[in-house]
Structure 1
Amino acid sequence: MPTVSIITITYNAERFLERTIQSVVAQQATDFEYVIIDGASTDGTLDIIKRYEKHITTWVSEPDRGLYDAMNKGLHRARGQYVWFMNAGDELYDPQTLPSLLAKSKATQADVYYSDALFVRDDDKHIGIPVGLRSQVTPHTLPHTLKWQDMALGMKVCHQAFVAKRAIAPDYPTDNLSADLDWEIRCLKAAQTVEFLPFILCKYLVGGLSVQQHRRSLIDRFNVLVTHFGLLTTLLNHGRILWRSARFSAR
């Protein structure tokens, strides 16, 4: 059983996928598997996958019911002790990222590891150009002692900078655009030990499904928070969220 399963979800992402795969191939480690779940792409995605097939442990290309259905397929195919999602366009931060994570996991065996993420641009002229660390360019501060209660004001940790033991990882709800927030909260609730990593885990490509459908994403986030924190608390916290966002924008 490998220590880490890196899982990439992709659909018609020929523009971005190779960067993700190359960041995995560049890792100076062997104790991991690489799983790619493709949603029956019709562009050049499959050509890219086949080009790197010797570096991919397993892959499948078939229709799915959306992003989180595909992520569940990845979870079910994974064999590693830990699962780590690195979707098309995202990258492991540098070639020492996985070796550093593996060394830490062997030393401490925490249930969850997390860190900061470097945001990079997704536009026609500036693909991959750094924007800044998530904790610096968004209102979300990053606590060094993370608890599930810290998610009351939203997603404290970028999903690609969150690595969980497969044994505590639940399936994603497939009808919620904030399912990654729900997943992180459930992982943290189940975790006995959670550890901050003093190095950056990933480069996160700004954009994606929740940005493209922003209004529905906000409604779905509200519903996730109500599920875990209750209606009254969530209403009060959304006042804090609005105040925090206004204060951050003013800076």
Structure 2
Amino acid sequence: MHNNHPLPTLSIITVTYNAEQVLETTLQSVISQTYHHIEYILIDGASKDRTLAIAEKYRDRIQLLISEPDGGLYDAMNKGIALATGEYVCFLNAGDSFHQDDTLQQMMQSIKGRELPDVLYGETALVDGKGHFLRMRRLSAPEVLTWKSFRQGMLVCHQAFIARRTLMQPYNLNYRYSADFDWCIRILKKAKTIHNTHLTLIDYLDEGMTTQNRKASLMERFRIMMHHYGLWSTVMHHAWFVFRLLTKPGQ
């Protein structure tokens, strides 16, 4: 299967809810890709704005479009995984886009001559609402990625983490903010081959999270780290975080 493997199909899943302001950017980014082995799935949570009208304009390029109420982001993502048929799955949030029109082609080119890896990953650029580059993501992708890498935090953005569908289990819905962190670690634990594309894969719309949600998200991430890496390792890697929690009661 080395040099002559057929080009793998990539299932791209976009989850939307009232995303009329940002969806078109994402749709155009997907349909303009020069790599054509794509299955595009759009899971909408019964939007009340013009999200579906916008999606309808591109209906012939969307293989699967579902709109129904769901239990939130990760529930919708689980639906997407269950419906995907591609060899690899990539989540692209509404508002986010591939870095260039040939990003997926470059990504697949980077594995030429090798066996198809279990996971591919790359860098993420932060952009504003007009798609202008702001800066690279604060945490950059490590040269070599293993399941232990995430002890440092989520070094690879969820959207720039592309894995074989057969390795995927559903997101754990007990986590409201950081289920993607836990999900990536679980996939990395099972992955045999993990490939660094050395490419910027994603332009991530930097909207910022509310401070309240950021705190809840950090707490959840801490719980996930304790589950996977144990208390001692987690505290050692994140002593500053524990200190902040203890010294800022009620914040």
Q: Do they superpose with TM above 0.5?
A: yes
Structure 1 residues 230-239 or 40-49, which shifts more?
230-239
CA distance in 2, matches of 1:213, 1:48: 29
Q: Which moved more, 1:92-101 or 1:185-194?
A: 92-101
| 5+ long unaligned stretches in structure 2 | 1-6, 244-251
Q: Which moved more, 1:109-118 or 1:204-213?
A: 204-213
Shift of 1:141: 3.6
1:80 to 1:107, Cα distance in 2 relative to 1, 3 A: farther
Tell me the residue number matched to 2:131.
128
Further displaced range: 72-81 or 106-115: 106-115
User: What TM-score does the superposition give when structure 2 sets the normalisation length?
Assistant: 0.88
Which position in structure 2 is the counterpart of 1:113? 120
Question: How far, CA to CA, are the matches of 1:240 and 1:149 in structure 2?
Answer: 19
Counterpart selection for 2:80 from 70, 74, 78: 74
1:77-116 counterparts in 2 under 5 A? Answer: 77-105=83-111, 107-108=113-114, 109-116=116-123
Number of residue pairs the alignment of both structures matches: 235
Residue 240 of structure 1 deviates from its aligned partner by: 5.6
Whether the 8 Å CA contact 1:66–1:174 is kept in 2: the answer is: no
| Structure-2 residue corresponding to 1:237 | 237
Alignment of 1:37-76 (within 5 A): 37-76=43-82
Verify the 8 A CA contact 1:169 1:187 in the aligned structure 2: yes
Contact 1:37-1:59 at 8 Å conserved across structures: yes
Gapped regions of structure 1 (runs ≥ 5) = 244-251
Seen in structure 2, the aligned counterparts of structure 1 residues 212 and 95 have a Cα distance that, compared at 3 Å, is farther
The Cα RMSD (Å) is 1.9
For 1:196, the equivalent position in structure 2 comes to: 196
| 1:204 shift after superposition | 0.7
Q: Is 1:161–2:155 an aligned residue pair?
A: no
Residue 187 (structure 2) pairs with residue 187 (structure 1):
yes
Per the TM alignment, residue 198 of structure 1 is displaced from its structure 2 partner at its CA by 1.9
Please say if residues 141 and 156 of structure 1, whose CA atoms lie closer than 8 Å, have aligned partners that are also in contact. yes
Amino acid corresponding to residue 196 of structure 1 in structure 2: N
Aligned partners of 1:153 and 1:241 also within 8 Å: no
Which contiguous aligned blocks of 4+ residues in structure 1 show a shift greater than 4 angstroms? 208-212, 240-243
Post-superposition offset of 1:128: 2.1
User: How far did residue 92 of structure 1 move?
Assistant: 0.8
For 2:125, give the aligned amino acid.
L
- SS of the residue corresponding to residue 43 of structure 1 reads coil
Aligned counterparts of 1:64 and 1:10: Cα–Cα separation in 2: 11
Decide whether aligned partners of structure 1 residues 80 and 113 sit closer, same or farther in structure 2, where only a CA change above 3 A counts: same
Q: Which residue is equivalent to 1:247?
A: none
Alignment match, 1:249: none
Matched with 1:30 is: 36
Q: Is the 1:3–1:102 Cα contact (8 Å) retained in structure 2?
A: no
Instruction: Work out the CA distance in 1 between the residues paired with 2:201 and 2:74.
Output: 22
Select between 169-178 and 19-28 the one with higher mean Cα deviation.
169-178
Amino acid at match of 1:215: K
Name the % identity: 43
Q: Which moved more, 1:62-71 or 1:97-106?
A: 97-106
Judged with a 3 Å threshold, the aligned counterparts in structure 2 of structure 1 residues 236 and 210 are, in CA distance, closer, same or farther, namely farther
3-state SS of 2:12 partner? strand
The structure where helix makes up a greater share of residues is 1
One of 1, 4, 13 as aligned partner of 2:10: 4
Residues 178-227 of structure 1 show CA distances to partners (whole Å, capped at 9, x for unaligned) of 11111111111110000101221110111366877111111110111011
Task: Give the SS at the match of 2:155.
Answer: coil
- Aligned-pair distance for 1:106? 5.8
